[in-house]
Amino acid sequence: MQQPSPQYHRHRHLTRAEIRRRRTRRAVRRVGVITALLMVLALGVGFVSGRMGLPAASADSSPAGSLASSSAVTTPGASSAANGGSSAPAASEPAASSTPSAESILLGGMTPEEAAEMLADPLMVLVNHHTQMPEDYTFDTKECGSATAINKTLQTEAADAFLAMQAAAAADGVTVWMQSGYRSVSYQTTLYNNKTQQYLDQGYDEATARELAAGIVNPPGYSEHNCGLAADLNSPEFTALEEGFENTAAFAWLTEHAEEYGFILRYPKGEEAEAVTEITYEPWHWRYVGPENAARINASGLYFEQYIETLQKLAAQGA
Ligand SMILES: [Zn+2]
């Protein structure tokens, strides 16, 4: 297989077997998360009913109780659910809304209306192997790339945020470059067709050639770079878009500060993350969602796909 050309970085897709294995592990983990959530809910209900003088049905089972409180540390919604419960007694609320849903808890006590609003934010657009960028998704772009960058622009808001972030990093003595940003769908089409042609030339049939090509270059509209919100970042100390970027001062700085400027690490490290994103760890690929959204997403501990899915479920509860 050929080395990817420098015009684009390669997303290494997981093989089908890898995806299957990781999905199984993810399913096992999900059961754990749901169990923990139910325990947190039980604790919250127990807390409310305790205040109302009712017997606390489930909070007194000590193994469950201790498990629930330890899981509450990693579940940001847990404390706000308990607070919401205590400040708004269930009796004064309609029955349906007295107990926050698991999705609401996962999202820090968000309401279905807030979830719908966040989903409608163009900065929250989901683009991945399974979800094509909407055809009516339009935006203005602005240059913010380094001298050596191939694709120098991002959506204007994201470019301004990147430039502010770059200046802040520089003030801390850290150089961050934007190496590859917005790629038009037509540019992506060219990349994809060229790659497909290479496989056709090797004698593969059309369907196989397209599938093999898709393993190297995202089909048009399926790359997050098509929406102008994805930025491949590097630094003078490490210019390659490779995993070694994680050992740079630039990456350390980004890990600490990117959220303040609205960027999240889109393809995090680890099998759980890779099972969800279906992309191997990319310390260089950062996604602009805006500072407020970035803080919410990071606080949830969910990966972007999971966050969107949870928002959709919560929004549907208000419909
Ligand atoms: Zn990228």
Residue 195 forms part of a structural domain: no
* Predicted local distance difference test score (pLDDT) of residue 21: 62
pLDDT band with cut points at 50, 70 and 90 for residue 120: very high
Examine the pLDDT at 71 and tell me if it is beyond 50: no
246 lies in which domain range? Answer: 122-183+223-304
Q: 68 vs 221, which has greater pLDDT?
A: 221
**Is 214 part of any domain?**
no
Task: Express each pLDDT in 162-205 by its tens digit.
Answer: 999 999 999 999 999 999 999 999 999 999 999 999 999 999 99
CB count within 10 Å of CB 27 equals 10
Centre of ligand 1 from the C-alpha of residue 151, in Å: 11
Query: Which range (3-7, 250-254, 297-301) has the least confidence?
Result: 3-7
Residue 310 lies in a domain: no
Ligand 1 centre to CA of 9 (Å) is 7
Q: What is the pLDDT of residue 99?
A: 86
- Establish whether 135 is a catalytic residue: no
In a domain, 264, yes or no: yes
What's the domain count of the chain? 2
Q: Which of 157, 224, 278, 282 is catalytic?
A: 282
Q: Say whether both 275 and 143 belong to one domain.
A: yes
* Cα-to-centroid distance, 58 and ligand 1 (Å): 47
User: Residues 89, 169: one domain?
Assistant: no
Residue 235 has pLDDT above 90, yes or no: yes
Mean pLDDT (whole number) for 74-82: 38
Using the mean position of ligand 1's atoms as its centre, give its distance from the Cα of residue 185 in Å. Answer: 15
| Bridge partners for 153 per DSSP | 143
CA of 313 to the centre of ligand 1 (A): 28
Q: What is the mean pLDDT of residues 6-15?
A: 52
Q: Does residue 211 sit within a domain?
A: no
Mean pLDDT of 85-102: 56
Check whether residue 227 and residue 261 sit in a common domain: yes
Residue 218's alpha-carbon distances to 6, 11, 193, in angstroms, are 15, 8, 11
CATH number at residue 178: 3.30.1380.10
Q: For residue 8, how far is its CA from the centre of ligand 1 (angstroms)? A: 8
CA 167 – ligand 1 centroid, Å: 21
62 occurs within a structural domain: yes
d(CA 135, CA 144): 25
Q: What is the predicted pLDDT for the residue at 164? A: 98
Do 39 and 167 fall into the same domain? no
The domain boundary, picked from 109, 136, 167, lies at: 109
For the chain, the DSSP string reads: -PPPPTTSPPP-BPPHHHHHHHHHHHHHHHHHHHHHHHHHHHHHHHHHHHHTT---TTTT-HHHHHHHHHHHHH-THHHHHHHHHHHS-GGGS-GGGSS--HHHHHTTS--HHHHHHHHH-GGG---SSS-PPPTT----EEE---TT-SB-EEEHHHHHHHHHHHHHHHHTT---EEEE----HHHHHHHHHHHHHHHHHTT--HHHHHHHHHTTSPPTT-SGGGGT-EEEEEBTTB-S-SGGGGGSHHHHHHHHHGGGGTEEESS-SSHHHHHHH-B---TTEEEE--HHHHHHHHHHT--HHHHHHHHHHHHHHT-
Going from the Cα of 96 to the center of ligand 1, the distance in angstroms, rounded, reads 43
Whole-angstrom distance, CA of residue 184 vs CA of residue 153: 10
Task: Please report the pLDDT score of residue 216 as a whole number.
Answer: 83
Exposed / middle / buried, residue 147 (Cβ in 10 Å: 0-12, 13-18, 19+)? exposed
CA of 265 to the centre of ligand 1 (A): 10
Tell me, yes or no, whether 100 and 127 share the same domain.
no
Q: How much of the chain, in percent, has pLDDT values that exceed 70?
A: 69
Does the pLDDT of residue 103 top 90, yes or no?
A: yes
Distance 204 CA to ligand 1 centre (A): 28
Angle (CA) 73 78 79, round 5°? 90
Distance 179 CA to ligand 1 centre (A): 9
Same domain, 297 and 236: yes
55: Cβ contacts below 8 Å, ≥ 6 apart: 49
pLDDT in tens, 150-166: 899 999 999 999 999 99
Residue 8 lies in a domain: no
